[in-house]
A and B are shown apart, each in its own frame.
Chain A
C-alpha cells in the first residue's frame, strides 16, 4: 500500500515536471523575454544600456526586454534576482556583474535551466556566461586615441600621454597600442615625446600636465586615457592660457567633461557608449535564443548597426572602437553618464 502510494506520488511529480517542460516547448508565447541586469538601481549608465536594448528589440521584433537591478550594487542582490528569473523561466539575461566569480554558480543554474546568459560591461568569469561582451579592445582604444589627437593637431607636432598610475594595466596596454599607431606613415610629422603618470590624483595630474607644457614648448596635444587625468589636464591647459595651442583629448566620462568640451579646451574625446552596449547585448541574446549562433570561438554575431561582433577565445567579444564625444553630442550624453 505504502509502495503504491509512493509510486503514484513519484509518477505525478515526474509527469508534472514533464508537463511543465512541455508547455514551454509546445506552446511558446511567441515573444522572447530577455532581462538587462544592471549593477544597481538609479544608475544613469544602465538606464542608457536599457535604452539601447529597447532600440534593438524594436528593430528585431518579437522580443520583450526588461531592466532589473538590485537596490545596492551587491552580488547578493543580483543572485536573488537571477534566482527569481530562473523560476520565471525567461529566455535570456545580460548581466553587468557586481562580482565576476560570485555569480558563476547561479548563472550556471540559469544556463542549466535553458536560459541564455551573457555578461556585458563588467564580465562574469569563464563558465558563468556564454559570451562576455567588452566595450572595446586595447588595440582599438589605443589606436583611436592617437587618431583623435592627430585630427586635432592636423597630424603635426609633439604629443604626450598623461596616464593614471605607472602600474595601471588597462592604461599601459592602451599606451602600447598608441605607440604602435604613431609609427604609421600618417603620423610621420608627429612624435609621442613622453608618457607621464598622474596616479589618478587631480593634484599630481595637474602638476604633471604643467611640467609637460614647460618641458616641451612645442607640445601640441596631451592624451589622457583616464577621466581624472583628463579633467586635471584640461584645467591646467586652461589655466596656462593654452586652450587651442595645446589640445587635450582622451577617455572621459561625458558628465564630468561636459564643461571642458563646451568651452573648447577638450574638443573631442572618446568612451564606450552604454547605449551601444545594450543594443549589442540584445542582438547577441537574440541570436543565442534563436539558436542561429552558440557563442563558439571565431563565430561572428550580426548586431544591426554595430556590424558583426566576433567571438574570441573564452567567449570574449569586443564591441567596437569607443564612441567619440564633441560639443554637438556632449550635452545629450552628459545627462546619461
Chain B
C-alpha cells in the first residue's frame, strides 16, 4: 500500500533535485522580500525573467554538451561574434527583418558549433581543450570582423532594437523565444531518439556504442545545438542591450556552466534535465538581481554570490548521496 502521509510526500519531493532547488529559491526569496518588498512586484519579476531569458537559452546548449560528458567554453565568444555580425548586418541593411537576423545569428552560430564538434568528434581533441582554443579564436574573429569598433543604438534599426522588447499577450518576445527553446528542447531530450542518445553517450559511452549509438554524430550534434543557441542568444543580446561591443558576453560560459550545475546536471555527463537547467538559471537570476537591490555593498556581492552557489551545490550533492544510499539499501534488501 502506497504511503500517502504528508511527511513522505515532502521527503519524496525533496529527493527530486528540481524540488530541492525550488525550495531553496523560496528560502532565499523570503529575506530578500522582507528587506525590499518591491522585489516580488510583477514588474520586477518580469525584469528578472527577461534578464535570464538569454542565459537560459545558452545554458540549454551548454546542458547538452555537459550531458555528453563535455564542456563548451566558447559560448561567450560565439555570442560576441554572432551578436557583432547581426549588429553589423543590421547597420548595413536597416530594413532587414529582425526575424531574419535571428536566423542569421543561428546560422553563423551553427557553423561555429559545428567546427567545435568536428574537432572534438573526429579530431579526438578533448572538449575542454578544443573550446579553450576556439574561445580565443572566435573572440579574435569578433575583433577582426568589427575592426575594433562598436555598433550602437543609433546605428541599428528601431525594429531590431524593439524586437526583444515587443510584447505578445503581455509577455516579451525575448521571453517567448526562451520559452519556445525550453519547450522544444524539453521534448527533444525526453522523447527524441538523438536526445536519449546524448544521455547514453554521457552516461556510459562503451555501452552506448554496443547498442549502436553513433558517438561521433552525437558529439557533433551537442556542439551544433550549443553553437546554434549561442547564435540566437547573440542576435538577441545585441538587440536587447542596443549595442554590440567586442568584449560582450566575456565570461558568460561560467554563468552557463553554473546554471547547469546548479540545476543538477552531472558534470561527468549522463544525467540532468531541462527543467533543472531552467531552475538553475532562475536561481542565478534571483541571486544576481537581488543582491544589488538589498543594499548589499558591491564588494560583498560577488562573494555572497559565490557562497550561495556553493551552498546550493552542497545541498544538491547531499541529496544525491542520500539517493545513492537508498538505492544501495534497496538492493541489499
- The answer to whether residues A207 and B299 also contact, given A201-B250, A231-B153 and a CB cut-off of 8 A, is no
C-beta contact mask, B154-192 vs A, less than 8 Å → 1, else 0? 110000000001000000000000000000000000000
Given the known interface contacts A201-B247, A202-B245, A228-B245, the answer about A215 and B165 at a Cβ–Cβ threshold of 8 Å is no
Are B242 and A231 in contact (CB-based, < 8 A)?
A: yes
Is there a chain A Cβ closer than 8 Å to B288's Cβ? yes
Contact A211 B293 (CB under 8 A): yes
Taking a contact as CB atoms under 8 Å apart, the answer to whether B289 and A239 are in contact is no
Give Cα distance in the complex from A201 to B44, angstroms: 21
Interface positions of B from 242 to 266, Cβ below 8 Å from A: 242-243, 245, 247-250
Q: CB < 8 Å: which of B47, B153, B165, B249 contacts A259?
A: B153
**Could you show 30 A-B contacts with beta carbons less than 8 Å apart?**
A166-B298, A196-B292, A200-B247, A201-B250, A202-B241, A202-B243, A202-B245, A203-B241, A203-B248, A207-B51, A207-B288, A207-B292, A210-B47, A210-B51, A211-B289, A211-B292, A215-B36, A215-B293, A215-B295, A228-B245, A231-B242, A232-B243, A234-B153, A235-B241, A235-B242, A239-B165, A256-B243, A257-B152, A259-B153, A260-B153
Task: Output the residue of A196, A208, A239 with the most chain B CB within 10 A.
Answer: A239
Chain B residues, Cβ within 8 Å of A203: 237, 241, 248-249
> Which of B248, B288, B298 has most A Cβ within 10 Å?
B298
Q: Which of B33-53 contact A (CB under 8 A)?
A: 36, 38, 44, 47, 51
Q: In the docked arrangement, what's the CA distance between A239 and B44, Å?
A: 13
Query: For residue A231, which residue of chain B has the nearest CB?
Result: B243
The docked-state distance in angstroms from the alpha carbon of A234 to that of B237 is 16
Residue from B51, B241, B247 within 8 A of A232 (CB atoms): B241
Residues of A within 8 A of B298 (CB): 166, 195-197
CA distance A235 to B152 in the complex (A): 11
A325 at the interface (CB under 8 A from B): no
| Residue B150 interfacial (CB < 8 Å) | yes
When the two chains form the complex, which single residue of B150, B250, B295 contacts A256, counting CB atoms closer than 8 Å? B150
**A132-B214 Cα distance, complex, nearest whole Å:** 66
Closest chain A residue to B41, Cβ basis: A214
Q: Which residue of B lies closest to A228 (CB)?
A: B245
| A206: B residues at CB distance < 8 A | 241
| A102 at interface, CB cutoff 8 A | no
In A20-76, the 8 Å CB interface with B consists of: none
Number of A-B contacts (CB under 8 A): 65
For window 291-311 of B, CB contacts with A under 8 Å fall at 292-293, 295, 298-299
- With CB as the reference atom, state the residue of chain B lying closest to A195: B298
Q: Are B153 and A214 in contact (CB under 8 A)?
A: no
| Chain A residues with CB under 8 A of B299 | 166
Name the distance in Å between A245's Cβ and chain B's nearest Cβ: 15
Chain A at the B interface: mostly helix, strand, loop or mixed? Answer: helix
A104 within 8 A of B: no
CB distance from A47 to the nearest CB of B (A): 16
For the complex with contacts A211-B293, A215-B292, A231-B152, 9 further pairs of A-B residues with Cβ separation under 8 Å are: A166-B299, A201-B247, A210-B47, A214-B293, A215-B293, A215-B295, A228-B245, A234-B153, A260-B154
Contacting residues, chain A, for B293 (C-beta < 8 A): 211, 214-215
Cα separation A124 to B243 with both chains bound (whole Å) = 33
Distance, CA A257 to CA B243, complexed state (A): 11
Q: Say if the beta carbon of A262 comes within 8 Å of chain B.
A: yes
- Is A258 located at the chain interface by the 8 A CB criterion? yes
Task: Report A-chain residues with C-beta under 8 Å of the C-beta of B248.
Answer: 201-203
Q: Could you say which residues of chain B place their CB within 8 Å of the CB of A214?
A: 38, 44, 47, 293
* B245–A235 touching, CB < 8 Å: no
B292 / chain A contacts, CB cutoff of 8 Å? 196, 207-208, 211-212, 215
Q: How long is the Cα–Cα vector from A256 to B243 in the complex, in angstroms?
A: 9
A201 to chain B: which residues have CB within 8 Å?
A: 247-248, 250
| Cβ contacts under 8 Å, B153 to chain A | 231, 234-235, 259-260
| Contact status B152-A256, CB under 8 Å | yes
Nearest-Cβ distance from residue A296 to partner chain B, whole angstroms: 39
Closest chain B residue to A265, Cβ basis = B153
Quick one: which of A208-224 are within 8 Å of B by CB? 208, 210-212, 214-215
CA distance A43 to B93 in the complex (A): 24
Contact with A along B198-210 (1 / 0, CB 8 A): 0000000000000
Q: Which residues of B contact A255 (CB under 8 A)?
A: 152
Contacts of A228 in B (CB 8 A): 243, 245
Chain A minimum-CB-distance residue to B249: A203
Q: Flag B18-43 by CB within 8 Å of A: 1 or 0 each.
A: 00000000000000000010100000
- B55 → A minimal CB distance (Å): 10
Please, how many angstroms separate the alpha-carbon atoms of A231 and B293 in the complex? 21
Q: How far is the CA of A106 from the CA of B288 in the complex (A)?
A: 51
Report B-chain residues with C-beta under 8 Å of the C-beta of A260.
Answer: 153-154
* Chain A residue nearest in CB terms to B242: A235
CB distance from B31 to the nearest CB of A (A): 16
